Structures are given as structure tokens and as C-alpha cells.
A and B are shown apart, each in its own frame.
Chain A
Amino acid sequence: MNVIVCVKRVPDTEARIRVDGTGTAIDPSGLKYDISPYDAFALEAALRHKESLGEGEVTLLTLGESVAQETLRKGLAMGADKAVLLTGEVGLDGLATAKSLAAELEGADAPLLLFGVKAADDDQQQVGPMVATILDRPCVTGVSTFEVSGDLVVCHREAEGGSEVVEVDLPAVLCMTKGPNEPRLAALKGIMAAKRKPLEEKPASGFESRVQLERLDEPPPRPEGRIVGEGSDAVPELVRLLREEANTL
């Protein structure tokens, strides 16, 4: 069974984000980029799924700039079979992104489409369910593990204040959260093999963005905090401050 995993190239989670002089972009200097963390979990789940079945292909799909090749090569080194890079602008209109991805995914020979539950840059948590809606496929979000059984998938998902077991008919879209298996590291052999795997780059079908970025701001610095004291002797003063100064107890 073929699986397509949508992955996004984002600044790595260690990154300090600084807004540049224009006030509408981040300063790229010194930033390192990586596969968005939940997308890496999605890829790991796809690879395990393929390994357990012993058949099928795992394809990576990205919408982004040409440099995203780097991210795709990393995914190929982890074990994906091929990759497609749709070159185009990625803005803050998740629906425009979803339409570009859906245009490529329409009619794809892959019963399972995997997404990360959210991308670590825009945090929108929307592209996966939007693609599913456009393609009229059922979609389950917040999935930590799944098993395919016949023409349906049994998903374990995180829900508010608990968890759920959900059954979904194939073809389906799953938006993956952190699962039990850490994304694998690429071994040297994988890195060598990745160089020969197919990576197709082509222009994305572009869709107009109806979300305009007016401004980016760094979060206001938190007011200087204070050390109330050391050890349990400081507790009564802390409780007094929480009640009288912070008004939170």
C-alpha cells in the first residue's frame, strides 16, 4: 500500500526567532532548518507501516522553495522511496497551501495520506484536514498510532482529556502527532542511497493568498521576575505574593 507523507521544511526547534528590519519576515541568519517535528513522526509511522507490510512505496511531498530539496533528501535518507517538491510560495494562508498540495494529490495512487498535526513554523494545525476536505477523504487528526486492517484504518488518537480509538475508511488522511517511535536517524548507507532516489521538482499550481501578513513581532519580554527565596521557608511569601500581588490564587 502506497503512502504519501506531506513534510514541511521549518527552522529547527532550537532556533531563536528574530524579526528582521522589514518587520514582516524572520531573520534567516544562523537558522538551521529541518523536517517539521510532527512530519518526522508521520514519516517514521509510514516507514514502519511499509516495513510491516513488506510492500508499497513511501513518497514525500513538499511545497516550498528549491532549498527544500535538502529536507527531502533527509527524508529519503531516513528511508522514503521518492520525493516530489512543488516549488512555490508558502504563506500564512493554509488553504492556499492545501489547494496546491491537493492539486498534486488528486488521483494519487496512495490510499493513505499522512500529515503532521501541525507545522512548527506557522502552527496553524489546518493543512491536513483542509486537504482531506478538498479531496473528500475522511480524516482523523491527532493520531499517535494506526494499523490498517482490510479497507479501514484503526487509529489511536489523543482527544481532549483522554484518548480515542477511531476507525476510518480507506482512502484516508491521517494527521499524526508524536507517536511511540522516535523518528529514526539516517544512517550513512541511507544517506548514500538517498542521492540516487528520485526527487522530482516542478512548479506548484499557485493559489491566491487571502491572508495578508501585516506584521511580525517578537513576544514582549516578560517583566523581570524575582527569586522569592530558598527552600521551603520561602513558601509562605510565595503564597502571599500569588494571592495579593498576582491575584491568581
Chain B
Amino acid sequence: MANVLAFAEQRDGQLGAAAREAVGVAATIAESTGGQVHALVLGGPGASSEAGSLGSFGAEVVAVGEHQALAEYNPEGYVGVIAERIQVGDYSAVVFAATGVGKDLAPRVAAKLDVPLASDVTAIDAAGGALSVTRPVFSGKAFATLRLEASPAIVSIRPNVFQVAERAGSGTVERFDPAVDPGSWRVRVVERKAAGDGQVDVSEASIIVSGGRGMKDPSNWHLLEGLRDAIGSDVALGASRAVVDAGWRPHGEQVGQTGKTVAPKLYFAVGISGAIQHLAGMRTAKTIVAINRDADAPIFGVADYGIVGDLFEVLPRLTEEIAALKASD
């Protein structure tokens, strides 16, 4: 019986939520289709150290390919190794996480194997044999349900959407020697600049604090950083296009139709009016909070909780109250 494969992405040697979610979704598919759940980890020496932990999310076998040249993602190294593992294995479905790496990687692997790919899916139904998936289109202004008629069916899953349960069981770690020849790579990373230490990407964070033109000046962003820090870890800063276009914030933070589409559990829209292109990017957040001094701002139409008022008064108080709440936990 065909198995299900999850590509478990490591970053700086760590397996994070993206890896767990991919494995968890593969395990859910295998519950319907039968077969085993395999995980594939690629990384530098030592990548296997944590790999066994994926067993508790459903991976029965965790294949780990370690090579110095795979420590950091480069499609020229990863694509061939992954495509080959899929070819030699017998897989009915392959799951990637739609992170920055997953979005770069999955289409190349799919093309190499000559099978279609459904990107950024938010729901999967494997009950009927062929995989049926739901994914946002028109930046979340509609959802398409698609049937994938190829084997293996390849999907990338939107971060933060799928709940993964810990399961009993431990995975068998199997190491293999990936065939890589970095000398022949046609793409070379010359420089990597981190946005800041330990900062989470806006497309993966579980909480997002976003600012818009109402923030008035880039120097006021310390107010949003203060709120972010008070909430804790796994919180990212986001931005409207207006402030990105003004050069106040990097494009990597932009949420919306020409930025990131996000689905955090909590989204703060501070001084953001709620233009249709912005809403398209964040309307699937579980809880939306809007702070805006204009009671008629469209953002209040999608917000679960709103405060009408001057953000320069509301933000410091909010940071203070949340810090106090966290301190009393």
C-alpha cells in the first residue's frame, strides 16, 4: 500500500511548526488512505539529532539526509534529492509546508516528477480516494475545492491552519547519503541578512501586530514592538502597503494582496483602514482586533473586537495591561 510523505523542513538545525504540521497532515491523510507516514529531513551534519521527535506527530519512518551543503536551503541541492526520494518510494501523497522554503521548493519538485501541485491548501479530504483540497484563491476572496488526479498528489499546506495532535509512537530514524554536488549549482547564496534575531516571519507567526499609516511615523514603531514583546514569543510585526510604500517598513512585513496572506490566531490591525487588498490577506485570522480612531473604518467590519480611539493612547495601555496579565500567569 502506498505511503504518505511529509517534507519536514529544518531551519538552523531545528524542526519547527512547519515540520510538525506537514507530518501531522500526512498522518491525517494516511488515516484515510492507509499506508505508512514517512518524513524526510534534509540538513547539515547533526540534522538527525531531533528527527525522532517527529514520531510523536505520526511519522513512522524519518529519513534524514545530512550533508554540509544542505545545511541551508538551496533549491539546486534540495530538489534533486527530494524528487529522487519520492521516485524510489511508493507515495500516494506528498505534503510540504507552504513556508518561504516550501513555496520555492514544492513547484520545482512537482515539475520534476511531472505531477500537479496544489499550493497553500487550508483543508484536505482524502476520504474519497483521490485527494480533494480546499485553497484560497483571489487572495482569500474565494476558496476553491479541487480534486488532484495524479499520483503522487502533491500539496503545500498553509502554516498555522492545521491543528496537529501529538500521537503515541516514535519514529525510526533512517539515515541516507544524499547525492549532492554543490560545485555544479547554478544558484549561489552570497549573503544572508537576518531581519533581526529570532524574529518570526509574518506568514508563520501565530500572533501578528500590524501597523498602518495611522502610526504617523516610522519612529513610532517602538509602540508596536513593545506590544509584540509584551505578548511573548511567536509574534511578528506586520504592515499595510501604505507604510511599506512609504519606506517605513520592509516589504517582507506587508500583509495583503501584494504581500503575505496570513492566518494567525490573533491579528492586531493598528491604524489600518481595512482596504479590500489588506483584508484579502488577513481575513482568515481566527481573531481580529482593530484599533482605529475612525468608527466607520472598514476594518471594523471584519474585526471581532474593536476599540475606537487614538492609537497613541490605546497602544501603551494595551501593552501595559497585557504585560501585567502575562506577569500574573
Residues of chain A whose beta carbon lies under 8 Å from any beta carbon of chain B: 11, 13-17, 19, 26, 37-38, 92-96, 98, 120-130, 132-134, 138-142, 144, 154, 158-169, 172, 177-178, 182, 209-219, 222-223, 225-232, 234-236, 238-239, 241-243, 246, 248-249
Contact = CB atoms under 8 A, between A and B. Distances in A.
A131 to B, nearest CB: 8
B150 A219 contact: no
A226 B283 contact: no
Interface of A is mostly: mixed
A26 B107 CA distance: 26
A242 B140 contact: no
Interface residues of B, number: 98
Given A94-B116, A123-B138, A231-B310, A138 B108 contact: no
Given A167-B188, A210-B150, A239-B318, A123 B119 contact: yes
Contacts of B79: 133
Given A37-B258, A218-B141, 12 more contacts: A16-B276, A125-B119, A158-B100, A161-B196, A167-B187, A211-B116, A216-B144, A217-B143, A225-B305, A226-B306, A228-B306, A239-B321
A95 B114 contact: yes
A44 B242 CA distance: 20
Given A130-B107, A141-B104, A14 B276 contact: yes
B88 interface: no
Residue among B112, B199, B265, B321 facing the most chain A CB atoms (10 A cut-off): B321
A230 B309 contact: yes
Contact of A241 (B186, B195, B305): B305
Nearest to B302: A222
Contacts of B116: 93-96, 209-211
Query: What are the 3 A-B residue pairs with the smallest beta carbon separation, nearest first?
Result: A126-B107, A138-B186, A133-B111
Contacts of B301: 225
A16 B325 contact: no
B283 A219 contact: yes
B118 interface: yes
Interface string B131-159: 01001111111111111111000000000
